Amino acid sequence: MDETDRYIRALLQQQGISIDENQSELFRAFVNTEANINSVKNIRLLQQNMTKDWKIIARRAEINALQLAFPNGIAGKPYQTKFDFKQYGLEDITSYGLSGFENTGLAYDANSKTISGTPKTSGDIAMLFSYNFEGEDENSPLNEKKVTIIINPDPKSLWKDIPSDTNDIYAKADNVAETASLLDFTLLAASKRGRSHANKGSFRDDDYAYAELQNGWGIVAISDGAGSAKFSRKGSLLACNAVVDYFTTHFSLENVALLDEAITIYQTDTSIRAKLLDIAGAHLSAAAKKAYATINDFALDANASVSDFHATLAFVLVKKFANGYAFLSFSVGDCPMALVNKSFEWVKPLNKLDVGEYGGGTRFITMEDIFTKENFEERFNFEFTTDLPYLVLMTDGIYDPKFEVEANLAKTEKWKLFFEDLEGNNSEGINALSKDADNQSNLSDWMDFWSPGNHDDRTLIVLS
Amino acid sequence: MRRLPVYFLLDTSGSMYGEPIQALNNALSGMINTLRSDAQALDSLWISIITFDREVKEVVPLTELVQFRLPEITCPQSGPTNTGAALDFVMNKVRQDVIKGSDTQKGDWKPLLFLFTDGKPSDIQLYHEKTAEVRAFDFGAVVGCAAGHLANDAMLKQLTDNVVHLDSADSQTLKTFFKWVSETIEQGNKSQGTGEVSKLPPPPSEITVVI
């Protein structure tokens, strides 16, 4: 049976007409007329064309709906991406062009199918993808599709440095830095407003304080005001000053005699540790409660809520004894404190951080319930070292970018890297531990280090 | 680095067809552009867009803002509003995506959830169950937005205390709303006391806060 026969037979069958056996001669003659042979040929051709036309239209719509998602770029940063036809399912493209790169800083190289260059500005780069695909006539006009590449601004370029209001009732300097001697030590401290605050002209929430006390004791305190509390900058200041004031007044010869005696005994008999912590704990908790009470009273006077002054608090008392150095500490919140051996043979984190499952969640000295929680005594610590180690206190603005997780605070290699970084092994080559011409430390400059996503206030105190 | 994960649940049921969905697209695009020019957001924000009508669709899985591309949001001409199924979907995603902090791993900021709807849930039974689940989860903030007179404020109140009502889903109102959303997002990466509820910035006058 030839094609014409098959076609007409199928056509009739579709209408429910069958050819009886006795009609077969008649049907054969019908099929073989020139008119019918030509008709079938024409019909087949029309059908083929129609099919082809539909395929082209459908494919064109498909390509039009296709998301050509080129990766986003950053203004001023080198950009390169391959226009991979396979990846986008465009393997049937026969000829094409990609235009619209004028004045964008980008260009397209057809040989390597690569878009590359350095975008000049942020915004959307609108390009035109003109193309033909398999099945289309060679001469048919090119189809057109709009394609965009999103260029983000460079985050570094977006940060503004707006000074905070110096006339505010709780105004605070945006940056402070100092070197001082404290007992036998050199104290190096800097506290710098984070970019997130500078960007909005808001205040530095961090604070610190230190003092030499009676009887050879010294104290260093650090505090980080909560970003979510409106007067936390004042809270952190009150917290630090309150504990310093407390010990300045209360560490009299009489009050401290028992503690000093216990520490002297500890040097030859460490079994006294629990007893010693009891004695020390009384001082530490009284000072912490003083900090709470001070802020609470202040809030009442200011007709505000104590939670408006939310701030963490960590402090260390230090004294040189005949055989070494004693350190007593207290902490609520997430400011790490550690003793670091100067040859990096050991490190002793002084506190466990209060951190929640999610970023930013912590505890504050302004939360009265911390004093009644069963873990309150875990906030106290005592360490005794024969050599003078580094004593380091920092807020999370330093800890997050430099140590990232709490486990790293116990690793000597991390501290070694941290001190190498401080001493100049950083992209700016700043030695934070050295002094400039005015005998000021470079710590404040070092604190400008760049770390994506870490733009909180930065405070660091190093005793050496 | 700490990420701030933000989930958008968008109602694309039949009633959104036409002008409202167009307005929603415009407003979303405006919001993304605002966020793109925010240094802090560019550094930490991750966004996911989930739509719901008869089906729940993850239009954009959780993607960092730097690589985010907003696709055109479309909706069918008719069909139910399966808000319960959408909440079920997003809770599974949140549990999968969001990184909790530990001794050796930096935790994300608390995730934020924004639900936008112009109707009331069709799958009420599931909705009741899932609202309880959302409330029990430690979100940084959950904001329910009811647009137009058909939206049911009381239903949204089950989900969260932060419910706002837009009188209509027109372009200008939606733009204002999403401007406020971006302000809320920008506030999402601040330290706060564990167990404390974060305060949202005051919404603009076009938005009615449902009490």
Give me A55's structure tokens.
């395929």
State how far the Cα of A281 lies from the Cα of A262, in Å rounded to an integer: 13
The answer to whether the CB atoms of B189 and A407 lie below 8 A apart is no
Say whether domain A73-158 belongs to CATH 3.40.640.10.
no
CB B142 within 8 A of CB B98: no
Nearest chain B Cα distance for residue A325, angstroms: 29
Nearest chain B Cα distance for residue A141, angstroms: 28
Has residue A383 got a pLDDT over 60? Answer: yes
- Which own/partner pairs from B166-169 qualify as long-range (CB within 8 Å, at least 24 positions apart)? B166/B206, B166/B207, B166/B208, B167/B206, B167/B208, B169/B16, B169/B19, B169/B20, B169/B23, B169/B24, B169/B118
Identify which of B190, B193, B206 has the alpha carbon closest to the alpha carbon of residue A455.
B190
By mean pLDDT, which of A97-106, A345-354, A356-365 is the weakest? A356-365
The answer to whether the CB atoms of A405 and B105 lie below 8 A apart is yes
Nearest chain B Cα distance for residue A242, angstroms: 21
By mean pLDDT, which of A278-292, A306-320, A409-423, B101-115 is the weakest? B101-115
* Model pLDDT for residues A64-88, shown as the tens digit of each residue: 888 888 999 999 999 999 999 999 9
> Higher confidence at residue B190 or residue A20?
A20
Beta strands in chain B (DSSP E): 4-11, 45-52, 56-64, 112-117, 141-147, 162-166, 192-193, 208-210
The answer to whether the CB atoms of B44 and A407 lie below 8 A apart is no
The answer to whether the CB atoms of B67 and A159 lie below 8 A apart is no
A contacts of B196 (beta carbons < 8 Å): 228, 307
State how far the Cα of B113 lies from the Cα of B127, in Å rounded to an integer: 16
A contacts of B40 (beta carbons < 8 Å): 196, 199, 455
B contacts of A67 (beta carbons < 8 Å): 69, 71
Partners of residue A159 on adjacent β-strands:
none
pLDDT value at position B185? 83
Minimal Cβ distance to A226: which of B100, B102, B191:
B191
- Domain ranges for chain A, please list them: 3-65, 73-158, 175-463
Q: Using beta carbons and an 8 Å cutoff, which residues of B are at the interface with A?
A: 1-3, 36-40, 42-44, 65-69, 71, 98, 100-110, 138, 140, 189-194, 196, 198-199
The answer to whether the CB atoms of A360 and B109 lie below 8 A apart is yes
Element (H, E) at A133: strand A123-133
State how far the Cα of A359 lies from the Cα of A453, in Å rounded to an integer: 12
Span A81-100, average pLDDT:
93
Minimal Cβ distance to B100: which of A158, A357, A404:
A357
pTM: 0.84
The answer to whether the CB atoms of A356 and B104 lie below 8 A apart is no
pLDDT value at position B192? 62
The answer to whether the CB atoms of B140 and A358 lie below 8 A apart is yes
Whichever domain contains B18, its CATH number is 3.40.50.410
For domain A175-463, give its CATH number from 3.40.1010.10, 3.60.40.10, 1.10.3720.10, 3.30.450.20.
Answer: 3.60.40.10
State how far the Cα of A455 lies from the Cα of A449, in Å rounded to an integer: 10
Instruction: Give the residue on B whose Cα is nearest the Cα of A307.
Output: B193
Minimal Cβ distance to A363: which of B38, B104, B193:
B193
Partners of residue A116 on adjacent β-strands:
A80, A107
State how far the Cα of A447 lies from the Cα of A438, in Å rounded to an integer: 18
| CA contacts within 13 A on the Cβ side of A237 | 12
Nearest chain A Cα distance for residue B131, angstroms: 21
The answer to whether the CB atoms of B69 and A69 lie below 8 A apart is yes
pLDDT value at position B43? 86
State how far the Cα of A366 lies from the Cα of A353, in Å rounded to an integer: 16
Q: What is the sign of the dihedral through the CA atoms of A367, A372, A373 and A375? A: positive
The pairing of strands B45-52 and A217-224 is unpaired
* B48 SS3 class: strand
Beta strands in A52-122 (DSSP E): 73-74, 79-82, 93-99, 106-109, 114-117
Nearest chain B Cα distance for residue A352, angstroms: 10
Alpha helices in A302-431, H assignment, sequence order: 396-402, 412-422
Partners of residue B99 on adjacent β-strands:
none
Question: A33-60: string of b/e by CB count within 10 Å (b at 16+)?
Answer: eeebbeebeeeeeeeeeeeeeeebeebb
Give the full edge-to-edge strand order of the sheet including A175-182.
A175-182, A185-192, A458-463, A390-394, A337-340, A347-349
pLDDT value at position A438? 66
Has residue A316 got a pLDDT over 70? Answer: yes
The answer to whether the CB atoms of B39 and A453 lie below 8 A apart is no
How does DSSP assign A236-259, residue by residue? HHHHHHHHHHHHHHH--HHHHHHH
Q: What is the sign of the dihedral through the CA atoms of B183, B188, B191 and B196? A: positive
State how far the Cα of B16 lies from the Cα of B117, in Å rounded to an integer: 9
User: A439 pLDDT band (50/70/90 cuts)?
Assistant: low
The answer to whether the CB atoms of B39 and A158 lie below 8 A apart is yes
Q: What is the sign of the dihedral through the CA atoms of A7, A12, A16 and A19? A: negative
Best of B192, B197, B199 to substitute, by most chain A Cβ atoms within 10 angstroms, is B192
pLDDT value at position B186? 78
Span A391-401, average pLDDT:
96
Residues of chain B under the 50 pLDDT cut: none
Minimal Cβ distance to B192: which of A159, A360, A405:
A360
A contacts of B98 (beta carbons < 8 Å): 358
The answer to whether the CB atoms of A406 and B103 lie below 8 A apart is yes
The answer to whether the CB atoms of A155 and B39 lie below 8 A apart is yes
The answer to whether the CB atoms of B42 and A67 lie below 8 A apart is no
CA dist A293 → A136, A172, A249, A285, A300 (Å): 82, 22, 16, 12, 10
The answer to whether the CB atoms of A228 and B100 lie below 8 A apart is no
Alpha helices in A252-359, H assignment, sequence order: 253-266, 273-301
Give me A192's structure tokens.
């710098």
B contacts of A122 (beta carbons < 8 Å): 36-37
pLDDT value at position B148? 85
State how far the Cα of B190 lies from the Cα of A230, in Å rounded to an integer: 12
Best of B191, B192, B196 to substitute, by most chain A Cβ atoms within 10 angstroms, is B191
Has residue A441 got a pLDDT over 80? Answer: no
State how far the Cα of A265 lies from the Cα of A283, in Å rounded to an integer: 19
Instruction: Give the residue on B whose Cα is nearest the Cα of A363.
Output: B193
Report which DSSP code applies to A324. E
* Model pLDDT for residues A165-179, shown as the tens digit of each residue: 999 999 999 999 999
| CA contacts within 13 A on the Cβ side of A109 | 8
CB A99 within 8 A of CB A127: yes
By mean pLDDT, which of A113-127, A223-237, B115-129, B174-188 is the weakest? B174-188
Residue type, B70: L
The answer to whether the CB atoms of A227 and B190 lie below 8 A apart is yes
* Residue pairs between chains A and B whose CB atoms are closer than 8 Å: 125
Partners of residue A149 on adjacent β-strands:
A125
The answer to whether the CB atoms of B1 and A452 lie below 8 A apart is yes
pLDDT value at position B90? 97
User: A137 pLDDT band (50/70/90 cuts)?
Assistant: confident
Number of structural domains chain B divides into: 1
CB A164 within 8 A of CB A175: no
B contacts of A362 (beta carbons < 8 Å): 191-194
The answer to whether the CB atoms of B66 and A72 lie below 8 A apart is yes
Element (H, E) at A446: helix A443-446
State how far the Cα of A50 lies from the Cα of A65, in Å rounded to an integer: 23
Give me A299's structure tokens.
């809030």
pLDDT value at position B210? 74
CA dist A195 → A207, A275, B36 (Å): 16, 45, 17
Nearest chain A Cα distance for residue B97, angstroms: 13
- Compute how many other C-beta atoms are within 10 angstroms of the C-beta atom of residue B60: 17
The answer to whether the CB atoms of B192 and A153 lie below 8 A apart is no
Span A121-146, average pLDDT:
92
CB A246 within 8 A of CB A290: yes
* A216 SS3 class: helix
Share of chain A above pLDDT 90, in %: 87
pLDDT value at position B193? 59
Span A203-230, average pLDDT:
95
Mean pLDDT of chain A: 94
Minimal Cβ distance to A228: which of B43, B100, B190:
B190
CB B171 within 8 A of CB B164: no
Domain that holds residue B159: 4-210
